[in-house]
Chains A and B, each alone.
Chain A
């Protein structure tokens, strides 16, 4: 027989009331867990989208001359800018303190060349980096493996008659329109070679239609383009992909700026900022709703405990009369509260997870998942217990202060 034995016996005796209290807490905790899990998953999804978006930091030379556009980013004119980037700058980026968070550093040189008699934007790239960055590219063929090979954008390939639609595919029907995407399996490459910058190159592959600027570009190995454009060692832009879920992009930008003081370094955040703000608002809303629901749960515990103290006045008086200290009374009641709260917390966490899993498909794309986070479980149980304890302090203290001589006479 210990004080805890009395507490457990009381819980067994008042199962209904204990379950009522536990369910009140579990509803509060469940709501909080469900909302926080949902907003957490939405945040994760945004992180994934950001990764799919490709580069999140772009390094360009300082220049007043803005002549070309690439990927929605204005790139300095290749012929007139004063401060060129170089291969050494790309290597410099890998020296920043946050270098371990860098996923891809993709240097490129942009310029214009004649392709089959028409002026075309050409990009010299490191294909290993570029293909890691441009995960949405779908190649018909392969990436160039030598200096004499090129990769053509879809529109250029069509313009130089390097591809033709496969019969019976949607690509055939789309001939003549550039507004519909053409997957690489709806056309075939019909031409082996093309003249780029006055030199014959082998067409290694064609990029399926993306709807982006690459449709109108030619890609070749960086060294080859530097040679074609007569700009050895020079770069026009360096795209950087950082592991960006909650990463300090602004700090990374600052570090790259410090490393490359002659360059413009900017983070591409605008496209996701609006959605991030929406999730932030959802998170704030979740917190507010959680607090309100928990406050209601706390109020329920408070009133139930107050009535329990009144109901158990005589019992408490007897315990005090036979030698229980105030602290013993507090301990016994608090054990009950902690057990009820912990059960409510566990049930709430589990219920919240189930609810968030059921609700997730309505908020996110297919494939998004609710993670089983130990920290969230621990947080839920801790908050449940804290809520139970705080809301019981006054009733329990009041119980401990009962005058035993009055309490034993209480009817």
Chain B
């Protein structure tokens, strides 16, 4: 279902309530949240634990159905899609970088990168070519045959980014990608993100690190399921509207 929208990503009045046996009404973790993200924008979401960051990220990741509101990406009402179509949507539109990387320990680097291509009807050689290209892009071209356990923390982070990029997704989602890394390695990962963004990659990142936030176009602050404020650190490329503040 395609919708009219100015922004590439539009979160429209999204609320999320998790059922809870202890409270009859459940636990509301997001309250009427709206935000728009332009193509090519690098957005950082910050907030304390339990503020709703991860829930918003998984909703953006087309994995967590909102209780109210909708998510429109590239004109597609994501949660109007069936479960299987939404899986296809994730494959086509989204790249996900997890905090713990979640690499498959039994697959080598290039196999980990090829993982999202496993369900596609592409020739094996084409899958390998794509995976090698993206490994080169993150600086791991010479470590394609190594297992994740044979890579450093920074290299594992870059490998996770490579896996998220191999299907050439318009939107890259990252859940505290530097959260478990030392400063030097974290900086290394942030540089990869910034390089990608400079090439036009749209990125939405959850982070606790103010130093990372200082490098992005726009920072969203969330607390108790609501946006508190926004701070544009760089020139934003589109109009950003927050709710319910606005």
A300 adjacent to chain B (CB < 8 Å): no
Contact B102 A314 (CB under 8 A): yes
Q: What 0/1 pattern do residues 287 to 322 of A give for CB contact below 8 A with B?
A: 000000000000000000000000000110011111
Q: What are 26 A-B interface contacts by the 8 Å CB criterion?
A: A1-B115, A1-B117, A1-B118, A1-B127, A2-B118, A3-B118, A3-B119, A5-B111, A6-B104, A9-B107, A9-B111, A315-B102, A315-B104, A320-B63, A321-B96, A322-B95, A322-B164, A323-B92, A323-B94, A323-B119, A323-B167, A324-B87, A325-B84, A403-B63, A403-B64, A405-B63
Q: What 0/1 pattern do residues 116 to 143 of B give for CB contact below 8 A with A?
A: 1111000010011001000000000000
Give the interface SS of chain A, mostly helix, strand, loop or mixed. helix
Contact B63 A322 (CB under 8 A): no
Give the interface SS of chain B, mostly helix, strand, loop or mixed. helix
Nearest CB on B from A175, distance (A): 85
Contact A325 B119 (CB under 8 A): yes
Q: What 0/1 pattern do residues 81 to 120 of B give for CB contact below 8 A with A?
A: 0011001101110111010001011110001001111110
Contact B64 A324 (CB under 8 A): no
Contact B118 A325 (CB under 8 A): no
A-B CB pair tally, cutoff 8 Å: 85
Residue among A2, A322, A409 with the most chain B CB within 10 A?
Answer: A322
A270 adjacent to chain B (CB < 8 Å): no
- Chain A residues close to B by CB (< 8 Å): 1-3, 5-6, 9-10, 12-13, 314-315, 318-328, 403-405, 408-409
CA distance A319 to B90 in the complex (A): 11
Contacts of A3 on B, CB cut-off 8 Å? 118-119
CA distance A2 to B117 in the complex (A): 8
Partner of A323, one of B90, B106, B114, B127: B90
CA distance A408 to B61 in the complex (A): 12
Partner of A405, one of B58, B111, B167: B58
Contact B98 A318 (CB under 8 A): yes
CA distance A318 to B91 in the complex (A): 12
Q: What 0/1 pattern do residues 204 to 242 of B give for CB contact below 8 A with A?
A: 000000000000000000000000000000000000000
B163 adjacent to chain A (CB < 8 Å): yes
Identity of the chain B residue whose Cβ is nearest the Cβ of A409 in the assembled complex: B54
Contacts of A326 on B, CB cut-off 8 Å? 83-84, 87
Contacts of B91 on A, CB cut-off 8 Å? 322-324
Nearest CB on A from B49, distance (A): 13
Residue among A319, A321, A323, A328 with the most chain B CB within 10 A?
Answer: A323
Contact A323 B84 (CB under 8 A): no
CA distance A409 to B84 in the complex (A): 21
CA distance A9 to B104 in the complex (A): 10
Nearest CB on B from A336, distance (A): 13
Nearest CB on A from B65, distance (A): 9
Contact A318 B102 (CB under 8 A): yes
Q: What 0/1 pattern do residues 167 to 194 of B give for CB contact below 8 A with A?
A: 1000000000000000000000000000
- Enumerate the 4 nearest inter-chain pairs by beta-carbon distance, A residue then B residue, closest first: A323-B91, A1-B114, A13-B106, A405-B58
Contacts of B63 on A, CB cut-off 8 Å? 320-321, 403-405
Contact A408 B118 (CB under 8 A): no
CA distance A327 to B83 in the complex (A): 11
How many residues belonging to B are interface residues under a CB distance threshold of 8 Å? 35
Contact B84 A322 (CB under 8 A): no
Nearest CB on B from A192, distance (A): 90
Contact B102 A6 (CB under 8 A): no
CA distance A364 to B104 in the complex (A): 55
CA distance A314 to B99 in the complex (A): 13
Contacts of A408 on B, CB cut-off 8 Å? 98, 102
Contacts of B164 on A, CB cut-off 8 Å? 322
Nearest CB on A from B91, distance (A): 3
Nearest CB on A from B166, distance (A): 9
Contact A323 B102 (CB under 8 A): no
Contacts of A409 on B, CB cut-off 8 Å? 54
Contacts of B83 on A, CB cut-off 8 Å? 326
Nearest CB on A from B214, distance (A): 27
Identity of the chain A residue whose Cβ is nearest the Cβ of B95 in the assembled complex: A322
Nearest CB on B from A6, distance (A): 6
Contact A322 B116 (CB under 8 A): yes
Residue among B98, B163, B167 with the most chain A CB within 10 A?
Answer: B98
Nearest CB on A from B129, distance (A): 12
CA distance A9 to B115 in the complex (A): 12
Nearest CB on A from B133, distance (A): 15
Identity of the chain A residue whose Cβ is nearest the Cβ of B91 in the assembled complex: A323
Contact B115 A322 (CB under 8 A): yes
| Besides A315-B104, A324-B91, A327-B84, 19 other A-B contacts (C-beta < 8 A) | A1-B111, A2-B118, A3-B118, A6-B104, A13-B105, A13-B106, A315-B102, A319-B115, A321-B96, A322-B163, A323-B88, A323-B94, A324-B119, A325-B87, A325-B88, A328-B118, A405-B61, A405-B63, A408-B98
**Given A322-B90, A323-B92, A326-B83, A1 and B124 touching (CB < 8 A)?**
yes
Identity of the chain B residue whose Cβ is nearest the Cβ of A1 in the assembled complex: B114
Nearest CB on A from B74, distance (A): 16
Contacts of A13 on B, CB cut-off 8 Å? 105-106
Contacts of B117 on A, CB cut-off 8 Å? 1
Contacts of B54 on A, CB cut-off 8 Å? 409
Nearest CB on A from B81, distance (A): 12
